[in-house]
Chains A and B, each alone.
Chain A
Amino acid sequence: MPFPNVRLSNRPLHFIYLCDCSGSMAAQGKMQALNQAIRQSLPGMAEVARQNPEARVLVRAVSFADRANWHLAEPTPVDQLEWRDLQAGGITAMGEALELVAGQMQSPPMEERALPPVLVLISDGQPTDDFSAGLGALMCQPWAQKAVRLAIAMGHDADLEVLQQFIGPDPLANLPAGEVPGASGQMPRGMGKSPRRPLQASNATALAQYIQWASTAVVGAASMPTSRIAGSSRDGNIPLPDLPPTLMDPTDDVGPLVW
């Protein structure tokens, strides 16, 4: 019997960068480092996408400074992506950026069968607009609740508290020793050792490693057809892979303190 005219499809995995482009990002080569890190991560991301054909990795990017705008508005297959450099200048409309993304975190435009999206917020400062309103708008959306939300703090002026609010509560905070999820199953060292806390990058090398981790290991984990039990906050929305070994503790930065 012939197969019917039914549309079978792999599941879209939306990966969205939210990039701080405020004026402070122009200092100390931060903007250049961010552009470079994202551009360099693309081949690895494309390889992960190739290895997981059941997921269709689609990349978008939002930039925020005086206003928030789609820097890359079309969900773009990672192997077709050509990164255009972001430009720094202005203040930090982070709340507006979250509202912009919120508009995309509902069905439609999200596909019914999409995998949990991955949202990566990168900032070096503090929001200058109504962050709470933006976060509230975002978290009203079902797909934002399902999303894997990661945050990278560039330098030590970044507002870790708002970044943690974006990620959500760290489910590992109250876990007994030995119960930390991750590919290794090992308990990372020290405080702040969860990928569900803001990842602090103090130089271009660390930033590149975090971007690489988010765009490869996390994308790979989010691509897998696994499920988890409802009501368990321990794993977050997907079981996140361990951070790169040298970055198990985000407070243990790699290389010199530049930012």
Chain B
Amino acid sequence: MTGALTGSWDTPQCCTVIGAAHRRLGKPCQDASVACSLLGPGGTTVQLMAVADGHGGERYWLSDVGSQLACDQAVLAVERALQQHPLTDQRHWLELLAGALPATIQAAWLEAAAGHWRQRPESGDQPFSPLTYGCTLGVVLLAPEWWGHTGLGDWDLVRRTADGNLDLISEEQDICASGEATASLCMGGAASLCAQRAALHPLTPGSAPFALVLSTDGVRKSCTTDGDFLALGHHLAELRQRDELDTALAQITSQGSGDDVSVAIGRWGALANPPPLPVPPQRRPVALLILLGIGAAALGTGLWWLQPWQRWITAPKPAASPATSLSAEVQRLCASPDRIPSALSQRQAQFDQLLQGQRQRQTLIQQATLDPLGAVIAASWPVPATASPAITPALVELNACPALLSALDQQWKQRRAAAAKMPAAGNASIQPPSAP
């Protein structure tokens, strides 16, 4: 690449809203979504956004868990890949997106689903079946010099350019022309299907700003035509506040398909619109310098910013604070208590690192906007020796539900027992999401 890039990625957003039909019938939301920052080689920040959609029929009756596990495993797999493969090797990353990465995600997803099944009472007399957890998965990576996607199933990815053009970048081909059929992580050979949805797009110095809107099928199926869907993508790309996205998605499902709806939104080229990244208090002087630099650079970016995206300039929205993210994560976990054990079991490394002093409690809490679950775990530390279940003042303040308290207590007990048996350094095979 020649010349410096004139843009950067904004912090991605994601939002999932239960479908109107599922809410009416008392069924769980079978969608899941994630948007986070991961630490790449040399301190580079890579953004990840993913959506997953559980199939939802009686045959796939734990697909709500499956979709959450799919998002969790996508984050962990990408994080591991970032430690092994330099981001500058775009050709290699394309190969990863088309093959090795989805294969890793699927294998880890199967393992995590099997682990969840073993905790179910039904596991006593019924064998584990991946079908039970069947879901789709769409993953988008936003690297400093490229962006790429992979996954399988009926998710859609729309790109909105600064001049208002909208492109459907990726959609599922009609591979079977049969009912509401879609490719799924639970299928044998699922990873190989991801090659069809994998692509890598280099960013160049001349790249114009754009936004990416990743969505589950409930969004598209709520629109009368594809034209309406693209127009909706245009609108969603402008929503920066979580409550705005919540409201929009609730309207989409209630007036549309009734299905669960999820979106994840990434924006590139926001030099003229300083990204509202979370800034820990001790970093504010540095952040101020960055903002000043951004402001100077913005003078040279051209008047097009004043056109369709001018609201981004005139009305920058503040990012969620760590405290807000922490509280929201507690509420999210407590809204689906059966998912809590599996979510926490994916973070054993964080428990261990806190136990062994390799991670600082306060640092994790300050990074709640990037890793809210890690912050919840940190808020449960240090564990009082006398109370059972262990309740820290922070958890009391967060109004954590009994299911969360109990699951955290159980994890701490398990990790303490494991630490007593194992050498302290033997626990770093799975790294928790890290903040830049």
Chain A contact residues, CB within 8 Å of chain B? 1, 3-11, 52-55, 111-113, 115-116, 142, 145-146, 148, 181, 183, 185, 224-232, 235-239
22 contacting pairs across A/B (C-beta < 8 A): A1-B311, A4-B231, A7-B224, A8-B252, A9-B223, A11-B256, A111-B224, A113-B220, A113-B222, A116-B180, A183-B58, A225-B218, A225-B221, A227-B55, A227-B154, A228-B180, A229-B181, A230-B176, A230-B184, A231-B181, A232-B181, A239-B59
How many angstroms from the CA of A55 to the CA of B59 in the assembled complex? 22
Q: A10-B258, A225-B21, A225-B257 are in contact. Are A4 and B182 (CB under 8 A)?
A: no
Does A225 contact B258, Cβ atoms closer than 8 Å? yes
Chain B residues near A5: list those with CB within 8 A: 231
**Which residues of B, 153-186, contact A by the 8 Å Cβ criterion?**
154, 174-184, 186
Residue in contact with A113 in the complex, picked from B187, B221, B235, CB distance below 8 Å: B221
Which residue in chain B gives the minimum CB-CB distance to A112?
A: B225
A147: min CB distance to chain B, Å: 8
B142: min CB distance to chain A, Å: 24
A13: min CB distance to chain B, Å: 12
Chain A residues near B56: list those with CB within 8 A: 224-227
Does A113 contact B178, Cβ atoms closer than 8 Å? no
Q: A53-B258, A230-B182 are in contact. Are A7 and B223 (CB under 8 A)?
A: yes
B338: interface (CB < 8 Å): no
Most chain-A CB neighbours within 10 Å: which of B131, B178, B232, B311? B178
Does A113 contact B224, Cβ atoms closer than 8 Å? yes
Does A230 contact B178, Cβ atoms closer than 8 Å? yes
Chain B residues near A237: list those with CB within 8 A: 178-181
Does B248 contact A3, Cβ atoms closer than 8 Å? yes
Does A54 contact B258, Cβ atoms closer than 8 Å? yes
Most chain-B CB neighbours within 10 Å: which of A5, A226, A231? A226
**Which residues of B, 184-212, contact A by the 8 Å Cβ criterion?**
184, 186-187
B255: interface (CB < 8 Å): yes
B310: interface (CB < 8 Å): no
Chain A residues near B186: list those with CB within 8 A: 229
B111: interface (CB < 8 Å): no
How many angstroms from the CA of A3 to the CA of B232 in the assembled complex? 9
Chain A residues near B187: list those with CB within 8 A: 229-231
Chain A residues near B55: list those with CB within 8 A: 226-229
How many angstroms from the CA of A185 to the CA of B59 in the assembled complex? 9
Chain A residues near B256: list those with CB within 8 A: 8-11, 54
Does B223 contact A229, Cβ atoms closer than 8 Å? no
A139: min CB distance to chain B, Å: 11
Does B19 contact A225, Cβ atoms closer than 8 Å? yes
B10: interface (CB < 8 Å): no
Which residue in chain B gives the minimum CB-CB distance to A3?
A: B251
B238: interface (CB < 8 Å): yes
Chain B residues near A145: list those with CB within 8 A: 177-178
Residue in contact with A112 in the complex, picked from B53, B226, B248, CB distance below 8 Å: B226
Does B59 contact A228, Cβ atoms closer than 8 Å? yes
Which residue in chain A gives the minimum CB-CB distance to B315?
A: A1
Does B19 contact A6, Cβ atoms closer than 8 Å? no
How many angstroms from the CA of A239 to the CA of B180 in the assembled complex? 11
Chain B residues near A230: list those with CB within 8 A: 175-176, 178, 181-184, 187
Interface residues of chain A: helix, strand, loop or mixed (majority): loop
Does A239 contact B223, Cβ atoms closer than 8 Å? no
Does B228 contact A6, Cβ atoms closer than 8 Å? yes
Residue in contact with A236 in the complex, picked from B154, B179, B232, CB distance below 8 Å: B179
Residue in contact with B177 in the complex, picked from A1, A142, A236, A239, CB distance below 8 Å: A142
Does B217 contact A227, Cβ atoms closer than 8 Å? yes
Residue in contact with B21 in the complex, picked from A116, A224, A235, CB distance below 8 Å: A224
Residues 19-39 of B, flagged 1 when their CB comes within 8 A of A and 0 if not, give 111100000000000000000
B275: min CB distance to chain A, Å: 19
Does B244 contact A1, Cβ atoms closer than 8 Å? yes
Residue in contact with A10 in the complex, picked from B183, B217, B234, B257, CB distance below 8 Å: B257
How many angstroms from the CA of A52 to the CA of B258 in the assembled complex? 9
How many angstroms from the CA of A113 to the CA of B259 in the assembled complex? 13
How many angstroms from the CA of A113 to the CA of B226 in the assembled complex? 9
How many angstroms from the CA of A113 to the CA of B180 in the assembled complex? 11
Which residue in chain B gives the minimum CB-CB distance to A142?
A: B177
Which residue in chain A gives the minimum CB-CB distance to B253?
A: A54
A255: min CB distance to chain B, Å: 31
How many angstroms from the CA of A55 to the CA of B222 in the assembled complex? 11
Known interface pairs A229-B55, A237-B178, A238-B180; 7 further A-B residue pairs with C-beta atoms within 8 A, sorted by A's residue number: A1-B235, A145-B178, A228-B57, A229-B131, A229-B183, A230-B184, A231-B187
B134: interface (CB < 8 Å): yes
Chain B residues near A6: list those with CB within 8 A: 223, 228, 231-232, 235
Chain A residues near B234: list those with CB within 8 A: 4
B243: min CB distance to chain A, Å: 11
How many angstroms from the CA of A21 to the CA of B228 in the assembled complex? 42
B323: interface (CB < 8 Å): no
Chain A residues near B235: list those with CB within 8 A: 1, 3-4, 6
Does B57 contact A7, Cβ atoms closer than 8 Å? no
B180: min CB distance to chain A, Å: 4
Residue in contact with A229 in the complex, picked from B134, B174, B225, CB distance below 8 Å: B134
B401: interface (CB < 8 Å): no
Q: A6-B223, A183-B58, A227-B181 are in contact. Are A113 and B231 (CB under 8 A)?
A: no
Which residue in chain B gives the minimum CB-CB distance to A145?
A: B177
Which residue in chain B gives the minimum CB-CB distance to A238?
A: B179
Residues 49-66 of B, flagged 1 when their CB comes within 8 A of A and 0 if not, give 000010111111000000
Residue in contact with B57 in the complex, picked from A11, A115, A226, CB distance below 8 Å: A226
**Which residues of B, 242-280, contact A by the 8 Å Cβ criterion?**
244, 248, 251-252, 255-260
Residue in contact with B251 in the complex, picked from A8, A181, A235, CB distance below 8 Å: A8
B239: interface (CB < 8 Å): yes
A134: min CB distance to chain B, Å: 20
Which residue in chain B gives the minimum CB-CB distance to A229?
A: B184
How many angstroms from the CA of A116 to the CA of B221 in the assembled complex? 13
Chain B residues near A115: list those with CB within 8 A: 180
Q: A183-B58, A228-B59 are in contact. Are A1 and B178 (CB under 8 A)?
A: no
Does B179 contact A116, Cβ atoms closer than 8 Å? yes
How many angstroms from the CA of A193 to the CA of B174 in the assembled complex? 31
